Amino acid sequence: MAVSIVGWAHTPFGKHSDETVESLIVQVARGALDHAGLAAEDVDEVLLGHFNAGFCDQSFTASLVFQADDGFRFKPATRVENACATGSAAVHQGLRAIESGRARCVLVVGVEQMTTTPGPEIGMNLLKASYLPEDGETPAGFAGVFGKIAELYYQRHGNQDDALAMIAAKNHRNGVGNPYAQMRKDLGYDFCRSEGDKNPHVAGPLKRTDCSLVSDGAAALVLMESASAAEMPRAVTFRSTAHVQDFLPMSKRDIIRFEGCSRAWTQALEAGGLTLNDLSFVETHDCFTIAELIEYEAMGLVPPGQGARAVAEGWTQPDGRLPVNLSGGLKAKGHPIGATGVSMHVLTAMQLCGEAGDIQARDPELGGIFNMGGAAVANYVSILERAK
């Protein structure tokens, strides 16, 4: 059974110390229903993407969505978690509910509030998305994990400082036009390339401009089986999806190949009867710039070891052969863990409906999404196309 996105909502990402997890959830749950022109009574199931891992004292959060409207009472609601891919895990679970015939309409919400947690605790919370017996003492937390990955990539393929700075500069430039982005400032290549007091090294070869932002925020979308979605004002259909889970320990994998990412892209493209060349744009998981570089290779845009070519030759720019992260990506938009995957789907749907404003792609037909949990452990791909 085909499934479509028929409505959505998105808070700005950033520091929201005047909000709570509950208030963020309520805001986007109401907003998504309003955007779809539906009531809580029309929803058959609720899914909440919320990583938490210590960011919020309230660990049992699924029913907080019900605070948005009493009409949700007695409906099934479940919290879904899969590290930094939590949002996409919730979206894909919503797809399964509809595809199985158990639901006709599903509300998916993603949320995280990170900035109210002290800095050292933030690092420890994020490190829980790694394999603690091997990586639990990593300096600089999860940035240190990706710093190791960057060092290994450099050892095999040479220095990539120029390429990483190009990726950071591209995404910050793209983020200027995104009203939901946490950092709407064009930092420029020279700033991203240079080390200094305002851009110090964080871990390995990664500088501050290579690392995504600690964020608060929420996003939500309404899923509906496509026959009913045909009657809605807007509908963006899932052409195909894939979820590939890999080993948690990096020691059991060639970590600079992101094989789970590669398999997820291959499965989704084959299921959709597509090639990468058919896509109009991609939103990919740039938690760190080295991740985006490796993802160019994993998705098949360039051969292994040639990720730098994609950005150096302008392929991933807004006017390139495959624009990547028109939203600014996690790098500029921010990365509130549980909300990220839902946000990627919302922004892709906006693009396909021609509602993306200053970051709008030119006549897009198909949009690809890659959302990753851990160091290429949880790998989710969605390919969306506009139905109306």
pLDDT for 275-304, tens place per residue?
999 999 999 999 999 999 999 999 999 999
Q: In the numeric block, which tokens belong to residue 359? A: 């970051």
3-117+214-229 folds as Peroxisomal Thiolase; Chain A, domain 1 (3.40.47)
pLDDT recorded at residue 171:
98
Interior CA angle at 346 toward 299 and 112, to 5°? 95
pLDDT recorded at residue 1:
80
Average pLDDT score over residue span 341-370: 98
Residue whose token pair is 């509809």: 98
Q: In the numeric block, which tokens belong to residue 293? A: 């570089």
Residue whose token pair is 């897009």: 364
Residue 210 has pLDDT above 90, yes or no: yes
The answer to whether the CB of 116 falls within 8 A of the CB of 79 is no
The answer to whether the CB of 269 falls within 8 A of the CB of 240 is yes
Interior CA angle at 35 toward 229 and 322, to 5°? 75
pLDDT recorded at residue 188:
98
pLDDT tens, 78-136? 999 999 999 999 999 999 999 999 999 999 999 999 999 999 999 999 999 999 999 99
Instruction: Tell me what percent of the residues of the chain surpass a pLDDT of 90.
Output: 98
| pLDDT band (50, 70, 90) for residue 199 | very high
Interior CA angle at 313 toward 310 and 316, to 5°? 50
Computed over every residue of the chain, the mean pLDDT equals 97
pLDDT tens, 318-331? 999 999 999 999 99
